[in-house]
Amino acid sequence: DAGVIQSPRHEVTEMGQEVTLRCKPISGHNSLFWYRQTMMRGLELLIYFNNNVPIDDSGMPEDRFSAKMPNASFSTLKIQPSEPRDSAVYFCASSYVAGGEQFFGPGTRLTVL
């Protein structure tokens, strides 16, 4: 298996632009997680899905952030409009079962100018 796949790996955009990050979980995994990592705050959970249903989105910073999981093999995290403080590395992870070991993607490094 190729593991968790994220795209793009790097994104540079200007403030106010819409940003869409993509994730393909490991086939057969039922839970998917979006995390953000910054120097100031470390790793933080943004949202997670179980069987394509959002279970906990309490970590989503504000309405500018939205996440979808239209099917078991694809999820998106969208930021609209983006701001410089959104600059971070965004990780997607998946697990076979809820509460199980999580497998992380390579991350997307987002820079908002």
Partner 1 sequence: KNEVEQSPQNLTAQEGEFITINCSYSVGISALHWLQQHPGGGIVSLFMLSSGKKKHGRLIATINIQEKHSSLHITASHPRDSAVYICAVGSGSRLTFGEGTQLTVNP
Q: Nearest distance from residue 11's CB to partner 1, in Å?
A: 14
28 contributes a contact to partner 1 by CB under 8 A: no
* Site string (41-80) toward partner 1, x via CB under 8 A: -xxxx--x-x----xx------------------------
Pick the piece of the chain touching partner 1 (CB under 8 A) from 21-29, 65-73, 77-85, 100-108. Answer: 100-108
Sequence-distant (≥ 6) Cβ neighbours of residue 1 within 8 angstroms: 26, 27
What tokens were used for 72? 């078991």
Sequence-distant (≥ 6) Cβ neighbours of residue 41 within 8 angstroms: none
Q: Nearest distance from residue 48's CB to partner 1, in Å?
A: 6
What number of other Cβ atoms are within 10 A of residue 51's Cβ? 11
Please identify which residue in the block is written with the tokens 């298996």: 1
Q: Nearest distance from residue 41's CB to partner 1, in Å?
A: 9
53/41 Cα distance (integer angstroms): 27
Choice between 50 and 81, CB closer to partner 1: 50
113/86 Cα distance (integer angstroms): 10
Binding footprint of partner 1 on the chain (CB under 8 A): 31, 33, 42-45, 48, 50, 55-56, 89, 91, 93, 95, 98-104, 106-107, 109
